[in-house]
Amino acid sequence: MKRTKWVTSIAIVITGVTALAAAEPGYDRVTGRPHASRSEVIAPHGMVATSQPLATQIALDILKAGGSAVDAAIAANAALGLMEPTGSGIGGDLFAIVWDAEKKELVGLNASGRSPEAMTLEYFQENGIESVPPFGPLPVSVPGTVDGWFQLHGRYGRLDMKEILAPAIAYARDGFPVSEVIAYYLTLNAARIGQYPGFRETFMPDGRVPRKGEIFRNPRLAATYELIANKGRDEFYKGEIAKSIDAYMAEQGGLLTYADLAAHESEWVTPVSTNYRGWDVYELPPNGQGIAALQILNVLEGYDIAAMGFGTAEYIHTFVEAKKLAFEDRAKYYADMEFVDVPVGTLISKHYADERRSLIDPTKASDRLPAGDAKLEDGDTIYLTVADAAGNMVSLIQSNYRGMGSGMTPGELGFVLQDRAELFALDAGHANVVAGRKRPFHTIIPAFVMKDGEPLMSFGVMGGSMQPQGHAQIVVNMIDFGMNLQEAGDAARINHTGSSQPTGSIMVDGGVVHLESSFSDATRKALEAMGHTLGDSDGGFGGYQAIMWDKQQGVYYGASEARKDGQAAGY
């Protein structure tokens, strides 16, 4: 694939758009493109993009030591569980898409955990519980991350797990300086889950969370990582770690048990895709929400998005309405495919998109939209991507949900358990209804792009229900608006909230459109005139990392999120 056609030759793509975009604040008056926060990073041998500079450096060191892209991704993920516990950790789940350069195949891993066996609809009905609570012992599902690490490592790893986890263990024991972003989110999380046993001892050793620039140590997590490094995956699911989790959950009145942990296993899956103007965009099938991005793109493909212009009310309206359509299907159909027959092929088909597109009024915001007849919003996450000298690429996303998760911080282990079971519905007729040993609907999604049968881009946009919206916007920014890898992530984002949810809630009065601050007042007034309700311009717009392969030059391009602490670096 000649990168010049798709990335650098933007003049053709934006002809006729420049005049519209140049008037927007934060845009170059000559090109009409948004100002990038930084240049793309370019390197020949390998590339890493994570949400924390120290994690990026750890992953680079692993690559330089002969590790694979997967080795480096695991090392970075372990570091982020320590350094960015507000969005990740081994108490949560993991999904990944891997490009195997030797076999020339794209594979997916669903390392999300299932509900406890005792978590049945009858349990909630008998106890008079109308919805799964967001915090405490009840929303805890099996953490899948550690098994995900070992599944990936067993298939693609080169270095020993002891070497891979050594940097994170050292930082956990010796300490690292907390960034301003993480200090802020630690404060928020402490306010809502700091009362649960184990949290203060782990994350507030001096009676408060660490402040910006202070050195934070987590010796408990260091010891846990050492056990995993020395004894392997089973130590977490069948060994002393599992026993500690079991005892803690029993004390707190939770449903998760040792038997639930021991029964866990990840699943290798085949990524699914749609073609958007020549790019094959890949996501993982449900129980995640990745195919929503594909549905959005399919609807948008029927419009001349480039002619609308970035930042215009016409484009934003069209995007929001396409998102509403996809999310109504998301609410109705997306669930654990071991329990229900999700009509993925129909949902991501072009014919289905043509039918759904007809429901969009080009001049008026919709208040209600039906889910299609396919025949049968809060979340902090980390996303990282790594590419190595052999051409392997990893797109990996990992999260506890709701920031640090449930608040359940077991024993001396140094991490918080996730609260993903909150996303189950308690309606007996719903595809996502709670059941024992079932995977809940999931928000975290990695993405990958192929072109002409070759790997092109590994990317992700973390952040709850923003994620499929962000994935679609990145692709549109690059293809329709001619942005480069960094610009596509820096460009102001759209986040529509209030769609119907897989938990059973219904969209009311069209939801709310949140626009980042650089969108103009004229655009906002035009959207309101169409009937859209506008919300806050701060927060909730996700975090982006990406790597692009330039086959012609034999180099990687890297980009990272300017809204957080992200860093892309290569060698």
HEC profile for 476-524? HHHHCCCCCHHHHHHCCCEEEECCCCCCCCCCCCCCEEEECCCCCHHHH
Q: Where are the beta strands (DSSP E) in 526-566?
A: 543-550, 555-560
Q: Does an H or E element contain 64, and which? A: helix 53-64
Distance, CA of 538 to chain centre:
19
What are the structure tokens assigned to 52, written together?
């924390």
Structural domains of the chain ordered from first start: 3-42+269-378+447-546 (1.10.246.130), 47-266+380-423 (no CATH)
> How buried is 230 (Cβ within 10 angstroms: 0-12 exposed, 13-18 middle, 19+ buried)?
exposed
Given a contact cutoff of 8 angstroms between Cβ atoms, the answer to whether 112 and 95 are in contact is: yes
Distance CA 148, CA 91 (A): 12
Give the pair of three-digit tokens for residue 431.
């595809």
Which helix (H) or strand (E) element contains residue 225? helix 219-231
CA distance 440 to 296: 22
- Asked whether the beta carbons of 545 and 568 are under 8 A apart, the reply is yes
Residues 6+ apart with CB under 8 A from 351: none
Instruction: Please give the span between the terminal C-alpha atoms of the chain, in angstroms, as a whole number.
Output: 22
Q: How do the residues of the chain divide into helix, strand and coil, expressed in percent and rounded to 5?
A: 35, 20, 45
Secondary structure (DSSP) of 88-138: --TTSEEEEEEEETTTTEEEEEEEPPPPPTT--HHHHHHTT--S--SSSST
Query: Which two structure tokens, joined as six digits, stand for 164?
Result: 């891979």
Provide the edge-to-edge strand list for the sheet that holds 47-50.
Answer: 267-269, 105-111, 93-100, 393-399, 381-387, 47-50, 567-570
Task: State how far the Cα of 260 lies from the Cα of 266, in Å rounded to an integer.
Answer: 13
Q: Any idea what DSSP says for residue 6?
A: I
Active site (catalytic) residues: 381
* Residue 508, pLDDT score: 80
* CA 61 – CA 22 distance, rounded (Å): 42
Q: Which residue has the tokens 């599992």?
A: 242
pLDDT, residue 10, reads: 29
Greatest C-alpha distance within the chain: 65
Q: Which residues contact 394 (CB under 8 A, 6 or more apart)?
A: 69, 70, 72, 73, 96, 97, 98, 99, 152, 385, 386, 387, 458
Q: Which helix (H) or strand (E) holds 396?
A: strand 393-399
Q: What is the pLDDT of residue 33?
A: 57
The whole-angstrom distance between residue 536's C-alpha and the CA centroid of its chain comes to 22
Take residue 285 and report the two structure tokens written for it. 């099938």
Instruction: Tell me how long the chain is.
Output: 571
In DSSP notation, 303-341 reads S-HHHH-TT-HHHHHHHHHHHHHHHHHHHHH-S-TTTS-
Q: Pick the closest to residue 297 from 318, 317, 274 (CA basis).
A: 274
Backbone phi, psi, residue 254, to 5°: -85, 175
The whole-number pLDDT of residue 371 equals: 79
H/E segment holding residue 70: helix 69-83
* pTM score, whole prediction: 0.92
Alpha carbons 301 and 255: distance in angstroms, whole number: 45
* 199/254 Cα distance (integer angstroms): 16
414 within 8 A of 218, measured Cβ to Cβ: yes
CB 459 within 8 A of CB 447: yes
Q: What is the pLDDT along the chain (571 residues), one digit of tens a residue?
A: 333 333 333 232 333 333 333 334 455 544 455 667 889 999 999 999 999 999 999 999 999 999 999 999 999 999 999 999 999 999 999 999 999 999 999 999 999 999 999 999 999 999 999 999 999 999 999 999 999 999 999 999 999 999 999 999 999 999 999 999 999 999 999 999 999 999 999 999 899 999 999 999 999 999 999 999 999 999 999 999 999 999 999 999 999 999 999 999 999 999 999 999 999 999 999 999 999 999 999 999 999 999 999 999 999 999 999 999 999 999 999 999 999 999 999 999 999 999 999 999 999 999 877 776 554 355 568 999 999 999 999 999 999 999 999 999 998 999 999 999 999 999 999 999 999 999 999 999 999 999 999 999 999 998 888 999 999 999 999 999 999 999 999 999 999 999 998 888 888 889 999 999 999 999 999 999 999 999 988 778 989 999 999 999 999 999 998 888 999 999 9
Contacts of 277 (CB under 8 A, 6+ apart): 301, 479, 480
Handedness of CA 467, 473, 477, 478 (dihedral sign): positive
* Cα gap 255→268, rounded to integer Å: 27
Cα–Cα distance for residue pair 367/554, rounded to 1 Å: 49
DSSP 442: B
Nearest alpha-carbon partner for 112 in 424, 373, 349, 364? 424
Tokens for 95, please give them: 């999904």
